[in-house]
Amino acid sequence: MFREVWQNLMKDKFARAALLVLGLIYAALLFAPLIAPYSKDFSDRTMAYVPPSKIYTIDENGSLSRPYTYNWVREFDENTLQITCVPDRGQKHYLQFFKGGKIVSVKDGGRLFLLGTDINGRDVFSRLLYGGRISMTIGFLALLILFPIGLLYGGISGYFGGKTDMLMMRFAESVMSIPSFYLLIILASILPSGMTSTQRFLLITVILAMIGWAGFARVVRGMVLSIKNQEFVQAAKSIGAGRLYIIVKHILPQTTSFVVVAMTLSVPSYILSESGLSFLGLGIQQPDASWGNMLKEAQEFTNIIYRPWLLTPGFLIFVAVLCFNLIGDTIRDVLDPKSKVR
Amino acid sequence: MQIVFYILKRILQTVPLLVIVSLLSFFIIRLSPVDPLADLRLNPSVSKETLARETQRLGLDKPIIVQYAKWALSFARGDLGVTSNGERVSVKLKERIPNTLLLTVVVIFLTWVVGVPLGIAAAVNWKSNFDRLLTILTSIGMAIPSFFFAVLLLIFAVKTGWFPVGGLTSANFHGMNFFQKVWDITHHLVLPVTVLFTISLAGLQRQMRANMLDVLESDYVKFARAKGLSEFQVIYKHALRNALNPMITLLGFEFAGLLSGAALTEYVFQYPGLGRLILEAVLRSDINLVMASLMIGAVMLIVGNLIADILLLLTDPRIRAGANV
């Protein structure tokens, strides 16, 4: 089954491109300490909101030179009352490669901000890499919590039937009838404020998992209802297997292909949920970075108009979700041939 | 007659559902470390009596079960309490619900009017360039985060000055005549509607296309073709009706998704809707307001699903036959 999925992914040119892009993104996140010129907490207060550094390879005499950059200095124009950033042409800072454990950096005194800085003078490019580590894994982790719960819940409900089934399903239905984003913000708001970032990350993951398990459990239950009367289940019963054993060992494995499809299709929605939550300030908190909370600064008009580099996390979320969707579509085409949504 | 019974039965079924919803959300909110009356306590315009009355009405000094019972009793009587700013919750909700409904209904209407024909067109021209283009566009529509899209549109609005930024009405709204008011609201609605429309259109178009492709392969469509019917008749008379039925079920889900999706969009555009209300209430741990707006959200979702089911009952004779049992 997995080989077939792989072959189809390779055949489809969109899926191939999506795999490549995601591979590049994850590789960059994995090697973030090498690629990012600064750490996620590095801040230079004199360099708040400076635009991306310009890299020059041709010097002022018009001849080819080693790549260098200028630092930004802020200048206050008394006539227009505006602060502008201009390059300090007095000193060149040459880029150095593979020095000090970084792929690219500049010597002391120079600053290399590939995508500018935020309000605290932190390098957006570096934070993008470290923040991506959270944004791009939290969805998967949430799924790892959500799917076992949903599978077991749906399995028990469907197999036991009768009153148990009715009670469990009423409960799942009531969870489903709270609009999911409302539930998400309520759950996020009860987190106490004095947590370490690891604790917060784990709890946000759990909260994300709370959304969507009910709908998943309901579909599993439906499948279990149709599976439980087949001969192999009766055979297991007749040799005296326990009910939980039958559910876990004999019934749930039958739902594998549905589970794989549902999982790949729901990764993007969890990435979006996390970024939305962090965007509102309820998810990952400063000083930790995630793509959502980096976009929080884009809520201010002056920022989005004069400092467009602060919007880059949004484009990355978009690209990542697009790639996951393309891959998910291909996997669904293979495992669920009846649907032709693509 | 049987349909009336069915509807009654469904309405009765929602009551236990709402009880569980309220229990769940009440306990979740009471876990919150924030003092629900903190704002009220600090607000000098709120009298001591109001404070004492609220503490007593919510039963904040009593165990959580008693608190819930108190809340539920007054909720059932139609008393939603006061917010932490001292306003009546019912007044606040009355002003927000129509706004959210307006936004979602406009979006659903537009997505259906545009999405269904596009879905049909894509299915009929399956694997043509037109179909491929639509697939790419819908992929983009599905991937763009709603709040990010909203921010981008805000930049657009600020730079061009073509659209008002935020809110639902202009400052001088009350001095306008009827047509100016309608125009003003429409003008303010354009951007939030664009965001939600783009995002829900993608899903709807794909679903319609998939349903249509399924139906076009079925035996009765082949038979209709073999009979020598025109392509127009085959598609619009035989295929379309059957392809539309699953979409009606989707209507309920779409409504639910929009309620959630609207929250972020409302937040970015400062749109006075239910989603922004609940967000502000949650941040202040304003228990009355959160509970009331959650319940209203749940009711709207359930009613949305109910309407979809009833529509399905009316359009699909197979389900009508099943509902009698």
With b meaning 16 or more CB within 10 Å and e meaning fewer, what string describes B199-233?
bbbbbbbbbbbbbbbbbbeeeebeebeeeeeeeee
Determine, for residues A182 and B260 on separate chains, whether the beta-carbon distance falls below 8 Å.
Answer: yes
| Partners of residue A338 in chain B, C-beta under 8 Å | 214
**Can you give the pLDDT at residue B75?**
83
Distance from CA of B227 to the nearest CA of A (A): 27
Given a cut of 70, is residue A297 above it in pLDDT? yes
Q: Domain A135-339 is classified in which CATH homologous superfamily?
A: MetI-like (1.10.3720.10)
Percent residues over pLDDT 90 in chain A: 20
- In this structure, the number of other CB atoms found within 10 A of the CB of residue A199 comes to 12
Domain residue spans of chain A: 53-112, 135-339
Q: Does A321 touch chain B (CB under 8 A)?
A: yes
Determine, for residues A177 and B154 on separate chains, whether the beta-carbon distance falls below 8 Å.
Answer: no
**Can you give the pLDDT at residue B58?**
64
Q: Residue written as tokens 């297997």?
A: A241
Query: What single-letter DSSP state applies at residue B163?
Result: S
**Can you give the pLDDT at residue B323?**
54
| Closest alpha carbon within chain B to A326 | B139
Q: Residue written as tokens 């969009």?
A: B265
User: Quick check: B267 and B279 in contact, CB under 8 A?
Assistant: yes
Cis, bond preceding A287 (omega within 30 deg of 0): yes
**B60: its two tokens:** 């904040």
Could you say which residues from 261 to 290 on chain A have a Cβ atom under 8 Å away from some Cβ of chain B?
A: 268, 272, 275-276, 279-280
Distance from CA of B256 to the nearest CA of A (A): 6
Percent residues over pLDDT 70 in chain B: 93
Q: Residue written as tokens 């923040």?
A: A131
**Can you give the pLDDT at residue B59?**
66
Taking every pair of C-alpha atoms in chain A, what is the biggest distance, in angstroms? 91
Query: What single-letter DSSP state applies at residue A77?
Result: E
Query: What single-letter DSSP state applies at residue B219?
Result: H
Could you say which residues from 35 to 54 on chain A have a Cβ atom under 8 Å away from some Cβ of chain B?
A: none
**Can you give the pLDDT at residue B33?**
65
Which range, of A183-197, B31-45, B232-246, averages the lowest pLDDT? B31-45
Determine, for residues A178 and B294 on separate chains, whether the beta-carbon distance falls below 8 Å.
Answer: yes
Average pLDDT over residues A312-324: 92
Distance from CA of A87 to the nearest CA of B (A): 26
| Partners of residue A311 in chain B, C-beta under 8 Å | 148, 151-152
Given a cut of 70, is residue A339 above it in pLDDT? no
**Can you give the pLDDT at residue A342?**
41
Nearest CB to A182 within list B152, B214, B263: B263
Dihedrals φ, ψ of A79, to 5°? -80, -45
- pLDDT top residue among B30 and A34: A34
**Can you give the pLDDT at residue A340?**
47
pLDDT tens digits, one per residue of A145-202: 999 999 999 999 999 988 999 999 989 988 888 888 888 888 887 777 777 888 888 8
Which range, of A94-103, A226-235, B135-144, averages the lowest pLDDT? A94-103
Interface test with B, best of A135, A190, A277 (most B CBs within 10 A): A190
Task: Kindly list the distances between the CA atom of residue A270 and the CA atoms of A81, A134, A146, B64, B298, in Å, as whole numbers in the listed order.
Answer: 44, 12, 11, 32, 22
CA pair distance B279, A186, nearest whole angstrom? 8
pLDDT tens digits, one per residue of B118-130: 999 998 888 888 9
Percent residues over pLDDT 90 in chain B: 8
Task: DSSP for B85-116, please give it.
Answer: TS-BHHHHHHHHHHHHHHHHHHHHHHHHHHHH
- pLDDT top residue among B297 and B42: B297
Per the prediction, chain A carries an average pLDDT of 84
Query: What's the pLDDT band for A341 if we cut at 50, 70, 90?
Result: very low
Task: Kindly list the distances between the CA atom of residue A256 and the CA atoms of A2, A148, B229, in Å, as whole numbers in the listed order.
Answer: 12, 12, 43
**B312: its two tokens:** 């399905």
Residues constituting chain B:
325
pLDDT tens digits, one per residue of B205-215: 988 988 888 88
Determine, for residues A182 and B210 on separate chains, whether the beta-carbon distance falls below 8 Å.
Answer: no
pTM over 0.90: no
CA A187-A192-A197 angle, 5° bins: 95
CA pair distance B225, B231, nearest whole angstrom? 7
Residues B89-284, CATH architecture: Orthogonal Bundle (1.10)
CA pair distance B218, A62, nearest whole angstrom? 70
Determine, for residues B263 and A175 on separate chains, whether the beta-carbon distance falls below 8 Å.
Answer: no
CA pair distance A285, A262, nearest whole angstrom? 30
Average pLDDT over residues B131-158: 88
Domain residue spans of chain B: 2-76, 89-284
Given a cut of 90, is residue A20 above it in pLDDT? yes
**Can you give the pLDDT at residue A116?**
82
